[in-house]
Amino acid sequence: MVALGAALYVLASWIVTWGSHLPFGSVTFTNLPGPVYVGGLHPWVKAAVWIIAIAVWAALSMALLRSGPSGRDVETT
């Protein structure tokens, strides 16, 4: 479950950084009046990505914890 969480963290981190970096490296211009917007996803999309990643992790974790030791559901009578 820890590895699943780590994998989802890496995937979500990668997704939320799409388009948020300058394509030509770090360049500083002192004559610009304010910060330069370089694009990227909207904040609500980033929040949605994180919420989906957490929901997937929670659902898969609960499914793994509910399954029996052999990977199949164990019926008790």
- Pick out the chain residues at pLDDT < 70: 21-39, 68-77
pLDDT tens track for 61-76: 999 888 766 655 556 6
Q: What is the pLDDT of residue 12?
A: 93
Q: For residues 59 and 67, what is the distance between their CA atoms, to the nearest angstrom?
A: 13
Structure token digits, residue 40: 């990227």
Q: What is the pLDDT of residue 60?
A: 93
What are the sequence ranges of the domains in the chain? 1-16+41-67
Q: What is the pLDDT of residue 67?
A: 77
* pTM for this predicted structure: 0.66
* Strands in the chain per DSSP E: none
Q: What is the pLDDT of residue 41?
A: 81
